[in-house]
Structure 1
Amino acid sequence: MSDFVVIGGGVIGLMTTLQLADAGYSVSVVERGHCGREASWAGGGIVSPLYPWRYSAPVSRLSTWSEGAYPELALRLLEETGVDPEYRQKGLLYLRVEDEDKALKWAREVGKPLSRVGSDMIYTKEPGACSGIEEALWMPTLGSIRNPRLMRSLRTRLDAMPRVTFHENCEVRGIVAKGQGATLETSLGALSADQVVICSGAWSSQLLEMLDLRLPVRPVKGQMLLFKARPGMVNRVVLMDGRYVIPRADGRVLAGSTLEEAGFDKTTDAAARESLWRSATAIIPALADCEVEHHWAGLRPGSPDGVPFIGQVPGMPGIYVNAGHYRNGLVLAPASTRLLVDEMLGRSPVIDPAPYRLEGRLGQA
């Protein structure tokens, strides 16, 4: 029997497990498929909400803490595993922003470097950007991470930790709360722990239903494209009209993403592919000459206001939730997992946990 059972092998689950294992606890990770192959793999890896000034203060606080944690985490994982998560801090160019004044006011209030720049700066930073842009916003501190490699490095590190056990292709079929913690009925047998963490992304609401509770988290599909571009064609994240391109170290360029209410359907379609292609080539015209190497979809864990649910399930000691990060699961993962681990281990929280608690935010199933 492990000290903790973590249900969900995405970025939230694996970062939670790493922190618990670092603290000396044994952890069993239960994953319905393969770890790191759902939303954590499918996203783009921008380490910031797309338009951060449009988010509420609770999301901004998690984001700010996480942005500061990623460089150290990426370096640690590279040194300990040899797998480079490819954290790159090359900044972001915002083209055609309608609410520039609001963005600049937000930046002054939170102390974030963000400035209005002219065409000389735009094309010095990104020579391949679409022509005719006279003004943009520039955020020099923004970073990105190659999320599939982040997931691989986390898994590699955890595999080397003797107190961590993985149960993949393991479906949770029932959760029975006890005085402290719960017993899980799974396709591989029963698992019990005094501390259980539910962090299964878009599937978390299904798990809470087993406890007769309604967690307002739903799947929101996002489709992405990957262009096989040459190194240097795109140098940093560029965002325009709600769509973005993200360069990787080997030259490949991601383009995303759609927002679709389609339930748990992860199929891709030609209309979305065409829309993404047009958006990407409008931002960087030279991408029109590059092969589209891959087209995929993932399911974000949508929540009513984008503020995740982090904390103990009311009235159920030892059962915790960390879910509902919507478009910002990878962005907020370091802070949201640290916040929950602080609560579970009785440590002082890194930020105020009140906005994320589950009290008053759940319904009856």
Structure 2
Amino acid sequence: MRVLLVGGGVIGLLSAHHLAEAGHEVEVLDQGALGGESSWAGGGIVSPLYPWRYSPAVTALAHWSQDFYPQLGAQLLAETGVDPEVHVTGLYWLDLDDEAAALEWARREGRPLAAVAIEEVYRDLPMLGGGFSRALYMAGVANVRNPRLTRALREALLRMPNVTLYEHCAVTGFIREDGEVCGVRTAQGELRADRTVVAAGAWSGELLKTLGIELPVEPVKGQMILYKCAEDFLPSMVLAKGRYAIPRKDGHILIGSTLEHAGFDKTPTEEALASLKASAVELLPALAKAEVVKHWAGLRPGSPDGIPFIGPVPGHDGLWLNCGHYRNGLVLAPASCRLLADLLLGREPIIDPAPYAPAGRLG
């Protein structure tokens, strides 16, 4: 089978990896550089920011992915020599309004989240800002170095003889014959396939409009900033008042993020920079003296309730979706891409696919 993946972010690349491993001919194309959009721009926390606020559909994908990430990181390092740096730090939530709901969720789902005395938090995180009074902690939560993850996936695919990658190759429309989608049209010509999978993130809705399909996926802008500190400056991830601090292994600290409905505009703004700096200093006062190394924006693929679309598109044989992961594309990628491959190849799915099916969810 020849499968075409439209979109070269982590969802498209990892889907391609699964399908190529199964022996199929796979082509991946992207309108820009592979992994250059939200997969590059995100923070890489391997957990929804507030997992108890999501539906069981998101939880099922998240749990499977969280358990699989260390294995995925090790596999990609062995295959390519590029380490995605799956960094297990644990995560603190400070002064939550819905602490009781979080603890009930953890009890119900069997996740290691528990209340921690604030004195203990300040002992473990002496760099934390003052004024916090309550904390929850979940051990085992990791973050992944997302630019390195997409680079590792790209390298792995380049080494597979049944994979072709196309960068800077924008789709202008789909090829339809006898009611079936047989590939795509691009500025460089036609690409034909037995199955075409749209994994184009925030651009997925725009692509499907060319077929008269209303896919409720829209861009939601997010801005972040990056500091460089000592490697042991912050041992755990911290989240308070909707903002988070993520430590990388080399001492880089990410602070994020904004939520903005600004269409496809990715311009970083001074307002967001000031707001993110204020959050950074409130969480970690020492950052007041640190220099912002980088400030950027990306576009999340916003979708209703953050539930992705995974599966075939009714009435358009040959067309499949793996998109609409909103704020959790990196979190949900391993399970989403495995589920897509299971469904596409007729295997037993890892989880119930019904909540993600495009059928009944498209206009």
TM-score, normalized by length of structure 1? 0.97
For residue 40 of structure 2, what is the aligned residue in structure 1?
41
Q: CA RMSD in A?
A: 1.1
Partner of 2:67: 68
CA contact (8 A) 2:171 2:186 kept: yes
Q: Deviations over 1:33-89 (max 9, x none)?
A: 000000000000000100100111101111011101100000111111111111011
Correspondences of 1:169-248 after superposition (within 5 Å)? 169-179=168-178, 180-248=180-248
CA-CA distance at 1:135 after TM superposition: 2.4
Partner in structure 1 of residue 154 of structure 2 = 155
Equivalent residue, structure 1, for 2:101: 102
Residues 238, 245 of structure 1: 8 Å contact kept: yes
Distance in 1, Cα, partners of 2:114 & 2:183: 53
Equivalent residue letter for 1:159: L
1:329 aligns to what?
329
The residue type paired with residue 92 of structure 1 is L
Number of the residue aligned with 1:86: 85
1:244 Cα offset (Å): 0.1
Counterpart residue number, 2:167:
168
- Structure 2: give runs of 5+ residues left out of the alignment: none
Corresponding residue pairs, total: 362
State the match for 2:110 in structure 1. Answer: 111
Aligned residue identity for 2:38: A
Q: Tell me how far apart the structure 2 counterparts of residues 284 and 60 of structure 1 sit (CA, whole Å).
A: 30
Q: Is the 8 A contact 1:84 1:153 kept in 2?
A: yes
C-alpha distance in 2, partners of 1:313/1:349?
A: 18
For 2:4, the equivalent position in structure 1 comes to 5
Counterpart in the other structure of 1:145:
144
Please state whether the residue corresponding to 2:88 is helix, strand or coil: coil
Separation (CA, whole Å) in 2 of partners of 1:20 and 1:166? 14
Within-5 A mapping of 1:297-336: 297-336=297-336
1:298-346 deviations in whole A, cap 9, x for unaligned?
0000012211111101012221011111100111011111111100000
In structure 2, C-alpha distance between the alignment counterparts of 1:224 and 1:279, rounded to whole Å: 11
Shift of 1:119: 2.4
Contact 2:112/2:139 (8 A) holds in 1: yes
Residue 178 of structure 1 and its aligned partner are, at CA, apart by 3.0
What letter matches 2:283 in structure 1? I
216-225 vs 228-237, greater mean Cα deviation:
228-237
Q: Which amino acid aligns with 2:271?
A: A
SS at match of 1:333: helix
- What secondary structure sits across from 1:214 in the alignment? coil
Corresponding residue for residue 124 of structure 1:
123
In the alignment, structure 1 segments of 5+ residues that lack a partner are none
Give the structure-2-normalised TM-score: 0.98
Q: Which amino acid aligns with 1:360?
A: G
**2:55 aligned residue:** 56
